[in-house]
Amino acid sequence: MRLGLSVCFIWFVVDQVTKWWIVTHLMHPPRVIPITSFFNIVLGRNTGVSFGLLGDASPWLLVAIAAAIVTMLLIWMRRAESRVSGVALGLISGGAAGNVVDRLRHGGVTDFLDFYLGEWHWPAFNMADVGVVCGAVLLLVESLIFENHVKRDGRDVSPG
């Protein structure tokens, strides 16, 4: 649990510091900053959830839902038996907590990472989102590896 909480805290700080730096230092005036042929730094405010969904929902409803999710993730982290699960849940909960703070302070989430390829354009996102996705991928990979070990060993055991 301690490792997961450390990762949660570190990722929360990474998210908040990058958003603060983008807003206070880089985006005066707000503009598109091309970095590569497929990546820009932009400044966006997402009042919804992923991909702008639920943009018309009450900010307090979104905060309440996100806070409940973070609480459930921390309970799951407490019960996690592997270090990989702890790190993964720390990334997810740190990212989710970072976005909750944004909603409380700004009424929406600050997004600034902007990827595209030709006409295909991914919605802008932030480091909190990176943590959530990386944590989810870690959990998926861990579950697939565990499942393969169980099948190979002939054990019928569930992970945690």
Set 102, 111, 114, 156: catalytic member: 111
Q: Is 102 a residue of the active site?
A: no
Set 15, 102, 114, 129: catalytic member: 129
d(CA 97, CA 22): 19
Q: Is 156 a residue of the active site?
A: no
Q: Is 34 helix (H, G, I), strand (E, B) or coil?
A: strand
Q: Write phi, then psi, for 47 (nearest 5 degrees).
A: -90, -5
d(CA 121, CA 77): 34
CA dihedral 92, 93, 96, 97 (to 10 degrees): -150
Q: Is 80 helix (H, G, I), strand (E, B) or coil?
A: coil
Residues recognised as catalytic: 111, 129
